[in-house]
Amino acid sequence: MKTPNTLSFSAKLIAILIVPLVAFIVVTGYLIYSSYTEKQDIEQLKVLPEFSVSASALVHELQIERGLSAGYLGSKGEKFSNQLSSHTPNTDERLAEFNTYIASNDPAAFHPSIRGTLEHIKSELSKLPTVRSNIRNQSISLAEGVSYFTKLNADVLNLIVTLSIKSDNMAISRPALASANFMLAKELSGIIRAVLTGAFSNDKFAPGMRDKLLTLAAKQENYFTDFKRFADNKSIDIFNKQENSPVFSETSKMRETARNNIGGGFGIDANHWFQAQTNKINILKKVEDELTQTTLRKMEALSAAASKAIWLNSIIGLAVIVLTLFMSTSLIRRLSLESKTMTNALEEISSGNLTERDYKYKTPSFTALTSMQRKLIDVNTAIGEVTHTVRSSSKEIAQSNMSLAQRAEEQGRNLENTASAMKQITATVRLNAEKLQQGNQLSAEAHKHANDGQEIVKKAVSAMAEINEDSKKIEEIINVIDEIAFQTNLLALNAAVEAARAGEQGRGFAVVASEVRNLAQRSANAAQEIKALIEESVRKVESGSTLVNTSGESLGQIVGAVTKVSKVIAEVTSAGEEQSVGVGQINQSVLKLDEVNQQNTVMVEEVAVSSRILEEQAKELEQLISFYKVNSEPSSHEVQSATHSQPERRSANRPWDDAEKAPKKENPEPAKSSNDDQVWKSFG
């Protein structure tokens, strides 16, 4: 079973065209079917205006007979007897036409839902002779007689309305609904004629007839409003023109007179009213016939349009299908030839023939094919040239790699000597670093002792300051004692004066005062001596404080000097350690460089082998390229091979000579190798 991927190019084109062609056929068929269905619906709906003509003619005569019967019954047989007798044949004639139409064009055959209503109408029409006989004998009331005709007319008109709403086509249903509403309004005019004929015959309304008149007038106005809503402007203009006629004005005045005189006494002749209202109904009948004819003409036009659409869609669809098949066949034939030519050209290319051809087809595909051939020729030529260049270069690379391997071995020996010297330097640097570490420790101890001495001096200065403060306080106390002695001496002097004044009685008191004065004097002298001693102590303490402060400053300078020495020793120690680490790293790098150099030597030898392999592969590639034929001439790479049969001598200036002269990059990228990337990264 063939799949879409295995189908031929022509089969794929046919498959692509089938889908839109089938879709077009389906759409065209649907349009034709829709037009045919619409035509069938219109043919069925044509029953409506034809039935309306026959039914409305019967209803019109029944309306007149209803009015005459109402006048006859209302006047107790005194009026309208002759008119009723002469009109009965007209009704019978329309009834016969109606029955004939029903027999030959049964509406129920197209609309089964109305069969029950139609049978009911036939049954009621069969009662017409009996009702007429009862009216002649006046064995039936006015209300019963009018009710029979009214119900019969209502059934017929409702059947017309039912047929009007069967269509979904608004172009048909709107005029049909307009005609139906107009017929209902005309029917109410007949009922109003019958009601007022009876009222004018008796010169008063029968019970309930006035209210019925008002109801009928309101319903009629609603029907006329609906008629104007569905009818076209031409039909409305016809009705408006007749509505303004003298007959309409006269009947409206008589109806207003009857409506305004509730108790009777109208003063209107019943025959005159009947004739005037009949004339109005006849005018309405003409408008009704015009509406029916308008509906029928629209149906004929729609039916003709549907037939035209059927033929037009059929012709267009057939023409498009034939044209599509013709163009598709031509296109498929041409595309098949192009595809075959394209296939042959590709087979020639696959067989190695790149000779340019002038294709008769100038489509983008063949333009692209020609461009591809030219590009393949250019690529083939370029590959041949590159292959020869690669072959020659690989020889020189192999020679250069051998020379590089020799220099790498010599560099390895130099690196071994350098590594031995670096080991000795490393040992010396480590010894210096250890000595500097010891000096740094001794400097730290001296710095600690200097700091301790400075702290002791600070404490001595603080103690001397406290002694100085205490001496000042003692001096203040001595001043107080001196002041007390002075006051005591003064009091003793005053006491001696008072004792002298007292004479003999104050002699004992004078002795005491003298002793107190002596004691005060001695206290003052002692206080002066103590004060002198204290002042001398304060001077000595201040001198000691000055000396201690000087010692503290000297110790501070010593501490600063020791600190600087410690920092210098620490920096020298750190530098020595860094130097030791650096020398160790240099030593490791030299060892690593020696290892990498050994690996490079091995890799250079491998590259030399790869170069020889590359040279052999270049020879094979030249043989493969020679498979293609280009314009029946030897390819350019073959010419190049003949021209460069002897390898060229490369310039004495090697690439690495320029590399040594060129400025070094800050961050050179490591060389890459598929064999050992990590080695080359370390080397970089």
Q: Give residue 520's pLDDT.
A: 79
Q: What is the pLDDT of residue 661?
A: 45
Structural domains of the chain sorted by starting position, each given as residue range(s) with its CATH number in brackets: 47-298 (no CATH), 366-645+655-683 (1.10.287.950)
| The predicted structure's pLDDT at residue 567 | 78
State the pLDDT at residue 646: 42
Is residue 675's pLDDT more than 50?
no
Q: Tell me what pLDDT residue 627 has.
A: 66
Alpha-carbon distances, residue 436 vs 12, 137, 174, 446, 562 (angstroms):
94, 161, 122, 15, 16
Q: Which residues contact 70 (CB under 8 A, 6 or more apart)?
A: 142, 145, 146, 193, 194, 195, 197, 198
Looking at the chain, the whole-number percentage of residues with pLDDT higher than 90 is 1
- More confident: 142 or 159: 142
Q: Give mean pLDDT, residues 271-278.
A: 90
Q: Region 372-381: what's the mean pLDDT? A: 73
Mean pLDDT, rounded, for 130-137: 89
Cβ count within 10 A of residue 454: 19
Q: Please, are residues 644 and 618 in contact by the beta-carbon 8 Å criterion?
A: no
| pLDDT tens digit sequence for 491-511 | 878 887 877 887 777 777 778
Q: What is the pLDDT of residue 630?
A: 64
pLDDT of 262: 83
The structure tokens listed for 477 are: 């106390």
Give yes or no for a contact between 288 and 242, defined as CB atoms under 8 angstroms apart.
no
Element (H, E) at 359: none
Phi, psi of 43 (to 5 degrees): -60, -40
pLDDT tens for 639-656 read 444 444 444 444 434 444
Average pLDDT, the chain: 75
SS3 call for 117: helix
Residue closest to 374 by CA, chosen among 400, 358, 354, 388: 354
Report residue 268: phi and psi, to 5°: -120, 130
- C-alpha distances in Å from residue 396, one per residue of 136, 303, 650: 143, 98, 8
The segment with the largest mean pLDDT, out of 360-364, 601-605, 646-650, is: 601-605
Query: Is-contact 78 203, C-beta < 8 A?
Result: no
- Pick from 624, 627, 629, 626: which is nearest to 642 by CA? 626
Judge whether residue 682 has pLDDT over 70.
no
Q: Measured between alpha carbons, how far apart are the two ends of the chain, in Å?
A: 64
Instruction: Please tell me the least confidently modeled range out of 13-17, 106-110, 312-316, 524-528.
Output: 106-110
Per-residue pLDDT tens over the stretch 68-119 = 888 888 888 888 888 888 888 988 988 888 888 777 776 655 566 677 887 8
What's residue 112's pLDDT?
A: 66
pLDDT at 186: 85
Least confident of 41-45, 241-245, 406-410, 461-465: 41-45
Residue 225 pLDDT > 80, yes or no?
yes
pTM score of the predicted model? 0.39
pLDDT of residue 662: 44
Tell me the angle at which helices 209-230 and 170-202 cross, rounded to the nearest 10 degrees.
160
- Mean pLDDT value across residues 463-480: 78
Give yes or no for residue 277 having a pLDDT over 70. yes
Residue 221: pLDDT above 80?
yes
For residue 300, what pLDDT is reported? 76
Q: According to the model, what pLDDT value does residue 357 have?
A: 65
Please tell me the distance from the alpha carbon of residue 269 to that of residue 254, in angstroms, as a whole number: 10
User: Mean pLDDT across the stretch 24-52?
Assistant: 68
Q: How confident is the model at residue 679 (pLDDT cuts 50, 70, 90)?
A: very low
166 band by pLDDT with thresholds 50, 70 and 90: low
Could you tell me the two tokens for 103? 């027999």
d(CA 583, CA 429): 8
Residue 585 identity (one-letter amino acid): Q
The pLDDT of residue 559 is 72
**The pLDDT value given to residue 625:** 67
Tell me what pLDDT residue 108 has.
58
**DSSP SS3 for 630:** strand
Over range 421-442, report the average pLDDT: 75
Residue 484 above 60 pLDDT?
yes
For residue 250, pLDDT beyond 60: yes
